[in-house]
Structure 1
C-alpha cells in the first residue's frame, strides 16, 4: 500500500512561476488529511522550503522533508534531524583546487547559510535562491573548518557539461549530480533522494513498496527507480521517463494532482 508520496519541487510540484497550483495544493491536502505522508524532496535547505511546507499544512509531528538531495531528513515543524550525511572543509579542498584550475564558481551550504567562495568569483546561486537563505561571501581560507556542510554547488552550465570528465579524486569523493541544467551539486558519497527516503521509511517501519515518487531531473532518478510507483512529469528528461512506471502531465498542467486523483480515485 502506498503510504508516502515523495515530490521533487522545481519543474515537478512547482509551476514554472515557482508556485504550487491551487489544484495541486487541494489534492495534496486532501490526501494528507486522509493519512498519506507527503514528503517534499529537494536540494534546498529546509529553511528555503518553509513557505511551501506551511502552504500544504505539512506541520504535524509525522511530517518530514528530504533536503540537500537526500543528505538530510528533517522534521518540518522543528527542523530536528532524523538522518544526516555531511562533508567537511577538508573534503571540499580537492574540489576547490579543481574549481580554481577550471574557473568554476562554488557555493558551500550548511544547515543555516550559504558560503559563496568569492575567491572563485561570485556565482548566480544567490540570485537563484532569491533571499531564501542568508549568504556570506568568504574566501576558502575563511570557510569554517569545524562546520559540517550538506553540499557544494556550482551554478554553471560548464560544470554540468564537464561532469563526466571530473578528475578521479573528485568523482570518487562526491556524488556529483545536476539538479538543473546549469547547476551541478556535489553531495556526500552514496547520498541521493532515495537514500534519504529509505531512512525516513525505515523510521516508520516501511520500505520502498510503500513509496510513490514524482520527478523530472537526473537528481530524481534514484527515488523514481526505487519507488513502487515512480511517476515522470511530461516535461521530464528522457532518462527519467526511461526508468519510471508511469507518466503524467507537465508541471504547468497540474500533473501531480491529475495522477493522484486517478490513482487514489
Structure 2
C-alpha cells in the first residue's frame, strides 16, 4: 500500500540538537509534499511553538497539519481551522496547583503566544518559553488568571522532585488526566485519553485514509503510541532503547539527517 501521510515528531526527530532543520531535510520534505505526501508535525509543543517549523515546511501551501499539545489539538495549516481539540477539565487545576506548591515546583499553561505562570524566573519556564518563542506572562494568582480554555498544563522542576510529584499525581488522577514526562524536567498534563495515536486516528478519519497509509517517525516516550499505531513506525537512532524496541525501522540520528534519509528511502526520492 502506498504511504500518503507522514507524521513527524519535532524535537529530537525533525530538528537536530540545535533545534534546527538542515537544508537537506527541508529540501527532501518539500519534495515529498510536491509528490503528494501530506505531512503532519506531531509534537508536545504548543501550536505557537510549532508554527515557525510548519511555515518553513510550507504546510500552508501543501495542505499539511499540525498536531500540537501531544495530540490535544489538530490544526489544518492551510485553512487555519482547528479540526479537533480536547480541553483539560479545569476542575483539576486547584489540585495540580497545590501539588506544585507542595513539591516546590512551577506550573504554567498556554494561551496563544503566551505562557501563563506565577514563576517567570524559573529556569525551566524560561527554557520552555525560549524553545517555543513564547512570551512569559507573570500573574499574581494562577488559578484566577486561567479563565480561558486550556489544552495542556506543564509542571516543571528538578527531576528528583518532579518524579515524586508525578507518582503522586498518577496515583490520584490516573484515568482522569493524561500525566507523563516529556523531558526529565517537564511533566505534561493533558486531557484523559490524549496521545499522538488517538489524534492521528481522528485525522485519518477526517482525511478518509487508513492507518496502513501512515508513517510515524519519533524518538521519545510520547511517540510510542503513534509508532505502534502507524502502518510503519520509524524510530531515530538517538532514541532510548525502550522506544527503539517499538520500531519497524531505525533511522539515522537527528544529528545525521535521519528524517531526510529515511524519507528519501521510503518514498523513492533519490
TM-score (norm 2): 0.90
Pairing 1:245–2:248 present? yes
Unaligned runs of 5+ in 2: none
Residues 1:8 and 1:167: Cα distance change in structure 2 (over 3 Å)? closer
User: Of residues 235, 255, 267 in structure 2, which corresponds to 1:232?
Assistant: 235
Correspondence for 1:143? 145
Correspondence for 2:84? 83
Q: Over aligned residues, Cα RMSD in angstroms? A: 2.0
Pairing 1:128–2:128 present? yes
Pairing 1:99–2:103 present? no
- 1:135-214 to 2 correspondences below 5 Å: 135-138=136-139, 139-145=141-147, 147-156=148-157, 157-158=159-160, 160-162=162-164, 163-166=166-169, 168-214=171-217
- SS of the equivalent of 1:213 reads strand
- SS of the equivalent of 1:18 reads coil
Residues 1:216 and 1:252: Cα distance change in structure 2 (over 3 Å)? same
Return the alpha-carbon distance in structure 2 between the equivalents of residues 167 and 236 of structure 1. Answer: 25
How far did residue 243 of structure 1 move?
A: 1.1
Correspondence for 1:71? 72
Moved more, 237-246 or 86-95: 86-95
Moved more, 250-259 or 109-118: 109-118
Return the alpha-carbon distance in structure 1 between the equivalents of residues 63 and 10 of structure 2. Answer: 20
How far did residue 78 of structure 1 move?
A: 4.3
Residues 1:262 and 1:195: Cα distance change in structure 2 (over 3 Å)? same
Residues 1:52 and 1:113: Cα distance change in structure 2 (over 3 Å)? same
Pairing 1:254–2:245 present? no
Unaligned runs of 5+ in 1: none
TM-score (norm 1): 0.92
> Are 2:181 and 2:187, in contact at CA under 8 Å, matched by a contact in 1?
yes
Return the alpha-carbon distance in structure 2 between the equivalents of residues 92 and 246 of structure 1. Answer: 40
Return the alpha-carbon distance in structure 2 between the equivalents of residues 126 and 80 of structure 1. Answer: 29
> Are 2:94 and 2:143, in contact at CA under 8 Å, matched by a contact in 1?
no
Q: Encode CA deviations 1:50-100: one digit per residue, 9 max, x unaligned.
A: 221121111137321100110000021443210000014322221112222
Moved more, 8-17 or 61-70: 61-70
Correspondence for 2:12? 11
Return the alpha-carbon distance in structure 1 between the equivalents of residues 125 and 33 of structure 2. Answer: 33
> Are 1:110 and 1:151, in contact at CA under 8 Å, matched by a contact in 2?
no
Return the alpha-carbon distance in structure 1 between the equivalents of residues 59 and 237 of structure 2. Answer: 26
Greater than 6 Å deviation, 4+ residue runs? none
Return the alpha-carbon distance in structure 1 between the equivalents of residues 34 and 3 of structure 2. Answer: 15
Return the alpha-carbon distance in structure 2 between the equivalents of residues 43 and 77 of structure 1. Answer: 21
Residues 1:184 and 1:49: Cα distance change in structure 2 (over 3 Å)? same
How far did residue 257 of structure 1 move?
A: 1.0
How far did residue 132 of structure 1 move?
A: 1.3
Return the alpha-carbon distance in structure 1 between the equivalents of residues 144 and 231 of structure 2. Answer: 45
Correspondence for 2:219? 216
